Amino acid sequence: MSEKKELEGVIAEIENDTAYIYLSSEKAGQLSEASFVELPEIGKEVKEGEQFANVETAKSVENLKSPVSGTVTAIAEDLKTTPANISSKTSKENFIVQVKI
């Protein structure tokens, strides 16, 4: 069984000691034209309520805040070359970052 936490359209789905962080459908729609995504490095500590990623669109730069604290164990590598894919990161299976909590 999993637990979910949400903060400003960013969702953490928690199973055991791992959180899969992704976007709500509404937030994904707002970021559909992303031109650049800055992600944390594997091994970086993220803190609940603090910025863990930046998404640049033609209109703005969006700071994504983490709903949980922990250590980044995996990132969505495809966002480095195809930033617009951020809008498809709306499930545990299609996460932005994975965090050990």
Give the range of the structural domain holding residue 69, as residue numbers without chain letter: 3-100
pLDDT of residue 11: 98
- State pLDDT tens for residues 2-13: 899 999 999 999
Structure tokens at 70: 């922990």
Q: What percent of the chain has pLDDT over 70?
A: 99
Mean pLDDT of the chain: 96
Tell me the longest C-alpha to C-alpha distance in the chain.
39
Averaged over 65-74, what is the pLDDT? 98
Rounded mean pLDDT, 59-79 = 96
Is the pLDDT assigned to residue 32 strictly greater than 90? Answer: no
30 forms bridges with which residues in the sheet?
none
Q: Which CATH number belongs to the domain containing residue 64 in this structure?
A: 2.40.50.100
73-95: average pLDDT: 96
Domain total in the chain: 1
What is the DSSP code string of 27-69? HHHHTTTEEEEE-PPTT-EE-TTSEEEEEEESS-EEEEE-SS-
- What's the pLDDT at 20? 98
